[in-house]
Amino acid sequence: MQHARGIAQFAVSSPSKLLAGGKPETLGGQHLTDSNPTNTGNPAERRKTARFPFIANAEVTDTGANAKINARVSELSINGCYVDMLNPLPAGTLVFIKIFTETDFFEASASVVYSHPHLGIGLAFRNVSAHFLPTLQKWLREAVRPNPQ
């Protein structure tokens, strides 16, 4: 599987062990891993785990300026997410993100890993509370499941 931005891809090495409470998560017999673990030039392609399409509302707070921004999450992984926003924050900015679905919410501190002008930001979660980890794992299991047709 490859996402439109080339972000989510499946491979069989270095399996993520966080999706299922310490057990490697698989899809179609393949472990879910880095999008491209050998790429050292683009931070978007050096993530620890694959991202999956996931749509939810979000509130991003720039912790340095204490400014809240309403945005939309479009991709999610166990280690971070992509947030769509017209005026993205610069790389290196420390933020606090709250992600909301109709039934659940998640929050964590994060840092902006990369910024795409007029498109959005890639966030790396910094401190995920044990309280919110089950919600993140649930969303990822749902995102990995093939859609019934």
pTM over the 0.75 mark: no
Q: What is the pLDDT of residue 148?
A: 66
Q: What is the pLDDT of residue 115?
A: 97
- 13-69 pLDDT, tens digit per residue, is 222 344 444 444 443 333 333 343 334 455 545 556 788 999 999 999 999 998 999
Domain 51-144: which topology? Thrombin, subunit H (2.40.10)
Q: Domain spans of the chain?
A: 51-144
- 108-130 pLDDT, tens digit per residue, is 999 999 999 999 999 999 989 99
Residue 108 burial by Cβ neighbours in a 10 Å radius (0-12, 13-18, 19+) = buried
SS3 content of the chain, % helix, strand, coil (to 5): 10, 40, 50
Mean pLDDT in residue range 84-88: 96
Report residue 6's pLDDT band, with 50, 70 and 90 as the boundaries: very low
Residue 142 host element (H or E): helix 133-144
